[in-house]
Amino acid sequence: MVNKGYDQYLRSKIMTASKAELTLMLYDGAIKFCNMAKMCIEKKDIPGAHTNIKKAEAIIEEFLATLNHKYPVAQDFENVYNYVYNRLVQANLKKDPEILDEVLEHLRTMRDTWKEVMRTANVPSSPTS
């Protein structure tokens, strides 16, 4: 019963989030999945590591698919996202937590930059954030 209520809460949060907040949620999700993959690697849970890395890859693929190339900076983002994606593939092949640490550093930097953009643009956060 608790999971059902939490699932409804998450659905509501996603459905009412702005595009900026959704982007932030995606960054947070990619970070979460990389951390979970690292824990799985430490526990020798290879299928769990694979699943979580694939989830992080899917988020990066979403970022790539939604880039707006009418802005020149989109090419810079595309380069970074492609690099991060390729590192995730390598982390998955090797089950290497050090590669995941590198990916996490990039993701945290991008997330923190995005938070700052939201703050300076006065993008309101939802009350549950």
Domains contained in the chain, number: 1
CATH of residue 58's domain is 1.20.120.340
Quick one: which of 52, 41, 63 has its CA closest to 107?
63
Whether residue 106 lies inside any domain: the answer is yes
Whether residue 125 lies inside any domain: the answer is no
Whether residue 20 lies inside any domain: the answer is no
Whether residue 79 lies inside any domain: the answer is yes
Domain that holds residue 74: 33-120
Whether residue 59 lies inside any domain: the answer is yes
Whether residue 127 lies inside any domain: the answer is no
pLDDT tens for the 129 residues of the chain, in order: 557 776 666 566 666 678 899 999 999 999 999 999 999 999 999 999 999 999 999 999 999 999 999 999 999 999 999 999 999 999 999 999 999 999 999 999 999 999 999 999 886 665 544
Q: How far is CA 30 from CA 2, 106, 127, in A?
A: 24, 11, 22
pTM of the model: 0.85
Number of H helices, E strands in the chain: 5, 0
How far is Cα 32 from Cα 38, in angstroms, rounded to an integer? 10
Q: Is 78 left (phi over 0), alpha (psi -120 to 50) or beta?
A: alpha
